[in-house]
Structure formats: structure tokens, C-alpha cells
């Protein structure tokens, strides 16, 4: 049996473990997103390569012919759209390059020596120091009340001997004395004078700093816009290749070998289509894996919240629960469970296995097969992925034959076998 003290101690240890497990799972989600981002770039390049395979030289005539071949009118418009966009970008770049702020951007924004950056470096510490003092004065008791009433000046309404019989004056007097003592000054008029001086300085310098920062942002935006436009012009042909390549991929997907025969280098194009199809499945599997991990993180959070609440309840009223005891079974259910560590190891293996796969031509695009089993060589259970789950259900006799050319004697896997 375990005591309340044992429970509270073990709960603290378990909550720390949950924190660590949550961090590991969240890190894995981020890693998979980075993997998906890299795959997205590869897919874009693959689409471009697919077009280059059947149209080595990008021309308006070639795109027009391709458009007719694959029955994709959009492809015929791509050249004209590219030229139109190119002209827009050229005009935009010329306009930016004629802008005075852009032409002086280096002199304005150079670190440490730029006109604007130097102004910020000068104004920021000055503003922060004044603002800190101004905020301190504002935080003093009844400061606004004393200033607005004109305390210490002829504007102050309570005068003469009878002011000592007025509770409002006595309260003002007490708070003014507290302020004078804190600031080590003799007159509240000096405090008010410094307050209004600081108010004007903070306002003036703050406005100047805001203006300079706004100008810095404006110049940075012009520089960024210029750089983006220049980069876009350079990549316009590549963008067309990727977009047209997507249309070719759709054409091959719908017609397979029959469609490939209508294209120049159709066999090579079909091989590239298989690569693209595989990478798209990698993207999909990593996304589904992240959804599974996120579900586990949600489950972990619920368990942690429940345990944290229970621990807090016992800690807040130890006397009430002083005689409470826990059985070995109760402790086993609550503590020492490494399910999320095991899940992390499993998910990490899945993500790495899917991401590094590159044997896209192992299967022909004309064969029916499941990319998940090809990528994992049938060793990983992907039944949480809708496509995999559906495939298994629709093919009860399905049995993946592993590639034994590089057999690592790992016989662990999903266990799907021919049940027909």
C-alpha cells in the first residue's frame, strides 16, 4: 500500500514525465512539418522535370501543342500570362528603383551606421529611461488626483485654516507627503513640474521614435518588395514548368500508359509520374501521422490535467485525506506508464521511414499497390491512415510481399496476411 505522501511525490514525478513526453511529441510534429515542407519543394521540382522531359525547351508554340495533346486549355494561356506578369514586375521594379527612399536604403538602414538605425539607437535608450521615470511617477498613490486638483498651487480648492477640517485635504496631504518622502524633494510643485516635463518629453520623443520606426518599416517593405519581384521574374519559367507539369501529371493519372504514348518521351514521363505520386503519398502519410500524434498529445494533456487536479486536491487538504491509501494496482494505473515514450519511438520510426524512402520505381504505375507498405516494406502498421485502413478492408486477402534483397531480419510489422 502507498500513502498520501507517496502519491503526491509520485504524481510530481509523473507530471514531469508528462511534460517531457509532450515536448518530445511536439518536437516530432515540428520535424514532420519540416519534412513535408522539404517534400513540397521536391514535388515542385519533379513537376518541372516532368515537363522538361516531354518539352525540353519552353516555348509558346510548345505549350500550345502540349495543351492540345493533353486537352488542358489552361496550358496554352501560360506563356501569355507569364509575359504579362513579367511586364508588370518590370514596371514595378522600375518604380521602386526610382523611389528616393529605396535608392538610399543602404545609407538609411545599415546596422549601426545608417541614418535611421542610428536615430533609433539614440532615441530608444533615452525614451526608455524617461518612460520608466514617468511610469514610476504615475504609479505613486493619488498622483493623478493631486495633479488634477492643483495641489500645492493657487488652483487647489482647499485653503486657509479650515482645510485641516476637510477629509479630502487630509487625504491629499498624507499622499503628497508620501510622494515627497519617496522622491526626496521638498515641494509637490517640484514633483508636478517634473511630471509635466517628463510627460512632454515622453510624448515628443515617443512620437519621433514612432515616426522613425515607421520610416524604417516603409523602407524595409520597399526593399523586400523589390527583392521579391526580382526573384519572381527569375522563377517565372520555372513556375510555368511546375504548373504545366501538374497538368501533365493529371493527364497521366487519368490515362496511364495510353496517355503516355501520346507524349514525347512518354515512358520517362510515366516514371517521373510514379515519383511524384510517391512523394504526394509521403506528404499525406506525414500529415496523417501528425494528426495521430496530436491526438495523443491531447490524450496526454487530459491525463496530466486530471492528475494535477487530484494532486492539488490532496495537497490543499492533507488533513482530510491523511489516512488515504493506494493499492499497488492503483499506483500502476496512474504512474510508471511509458505509453507516450513508446508512442514517440514508434511515430519517430514511422516519420523517418516514410521521409527517407526514395525507391519510387519499385512498382509499376500500372500495378495496384499500397504506397504505405512499399515505403515501409510492410513492417509498420499504418491502419490509422484512412487510405491504408480502407485498402485493407477492401482487400481482405491482401498480403504484402516484402523486398528480401535487403532483409534486416526485422519481422515486426502490421501482421496483415492472406485470410482468403
pLDDT in tens, 344-363: 999 999 999 999 999 998 87
pLDDT tens digits for range 261-307 = 999 999 999 999 999 999 999 999 999 999 999 999 999 999 999 99
pLDDT tens digits for range 4-50 = 888 888 888 889 999 999 999 999 999 999 999 999 999 999 999 99
pLDDT at 55 over 90: yes
Q: How far apart are CA 6 and CA 325, in angstroms?
A: 9
Q: If DSSP codes are grouped into helix, strand and coil, which group holds residue 391?
A: helix
Residues with Cβ within 8 Å of 384's Cβ and at least 6 positions away in sequence, in order, are 288, 292
pLDDT tens digits for range 355-411 = 999 999 887 766 788 999 999 998 998 989 999 999 999 988 888 877 766 544 443
Cβ count near 218 (within 10 Å): 12
Q: What is the dihedral of CA 223, 224, 230, 235, to 10 degrees?
A: 170
State the average pLDDT for the chain: 89
pTM: 0.75
Q: How far apart are CA 346 and CA 376, in angstroms?
A: 13
> What percent of the chain is modeled with pLDDT above 90?
64
* 100-109: average pLDDT: 95
Amino acid at each position: 500500500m502507498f500513502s498520501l505522501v507517496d502519491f503526491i511525490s509520485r504524481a510530481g514525478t509523473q507530471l514531469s514525465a508528462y511534460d517531457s513526453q509532450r515536448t518530445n511529441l511536439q518536437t516530432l510534429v515540428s520535424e514532420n512539418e519540416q519534412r513535408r515542407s522539404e517534400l513540397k519543394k521536391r514535388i515542385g521540382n519533379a513537376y518541372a522535370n516532368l515537363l522538361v522531359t516531354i518539352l525540353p525547351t519552353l516555348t509558346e508554340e510548345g505549350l500550345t501543342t502540349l495543351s492540345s495533346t493533353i486537352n488542358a486549355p489552361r496550358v496554352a494561356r501560360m506563356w501569355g500570362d507569364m509575359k504579362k506578369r513579367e511586364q508588370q514586375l518590370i514596371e514595378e521594379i522600375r518604380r521602386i528603383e526610382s523611389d528616393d527612399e529605396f535608392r538610399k536604403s543602404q545609407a538609411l538602414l545599415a546596422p549601426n551606421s545608417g541614418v535611421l538605425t542610428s536615430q533609433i539607437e539614440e532615441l530608444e535608450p533615452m525614451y526608455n529611461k524617461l518612460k520608466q521615470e514617468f511610469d514610476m511617477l504615475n504609479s505613486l498613490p493619488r498622483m493623478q488626483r493631486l495633479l488634477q486638483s492643483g495641489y500645492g498651487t493657487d488652483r487647489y480648492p482647499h485653503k486657509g485654516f479650515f482645510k485641516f477640517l476637510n477629509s479630502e485635504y487630509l487625504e491629499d496631504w498624507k499622499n503628497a507627503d508620501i510622494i515627497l518622502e519617496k522622491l526626496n524633494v521638498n515641494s509637490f510643485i517640484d514633483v508636478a513640474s517634473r511630471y509635466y516635463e517628463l510627460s512632454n518629453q515622453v510624448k515628443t520623443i515617443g512620437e519621433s521614435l514612432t515616426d522613425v520606426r515607421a520610416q524604417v518599416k516603409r523602407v524595409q517593405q520597399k526593399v523586400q518588395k523589390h527583392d521579391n519581384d526580382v526573384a519572381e521574374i527569375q522563377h517565372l519559367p520555372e513556375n510555368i514548368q511546375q504548373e504545366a507539369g501538374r497538368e501533365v501529371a493529371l493527364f497521366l493519372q487519368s490515362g496511364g500508359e495510353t496517355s503516355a504514348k501520346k507524349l514525347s518521351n512518354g515512358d520517362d514521363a510515366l516514371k517521373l509520374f510514379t515519383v511524384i505520386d510517391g512523394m504526394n503519398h509521403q506528404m499525406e502519410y506525414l500529415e496523417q501521422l501528425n494528426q495521430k500524434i496530436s491526438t495523443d498529445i491531447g490524450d496526454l494533456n487530459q491525463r496530466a490535467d486530471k492528475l494535477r487536479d487530484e494532486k492539488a486536491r490532496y495537497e490543499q487538504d492533507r488533513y482530510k485525506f491523511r489516512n488515504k491509501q493506494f493499492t499497488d494496482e492503483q499506483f500502476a494505473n496512474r504512474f510508471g506508464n511509458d505509453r507516450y515514450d513508446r508512442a514517440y519511438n514508434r511515430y519517430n520510426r514511422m516519420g523517418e521511414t516514410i521521409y527517407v524512402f526514395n525507391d519510387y520505381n519499385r512498382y509499376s504505375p500500372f500495378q495496384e499497390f499500397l504506397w504505405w507498405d512499399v515505403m515501409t516494406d510492410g513492417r509498420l502498421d499504418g491502419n490509422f491512415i484512412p487510405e491504408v485502413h480502407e485498402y485493407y478492408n477492401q482487400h481482405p486477402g491482401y498480403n504484402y510481399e516484402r523486398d528480401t534483397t535487403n532483409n534486416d531480419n526485422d519481422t515486426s510489422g502490421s501482421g496483415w496476411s492472406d485470410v482468403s
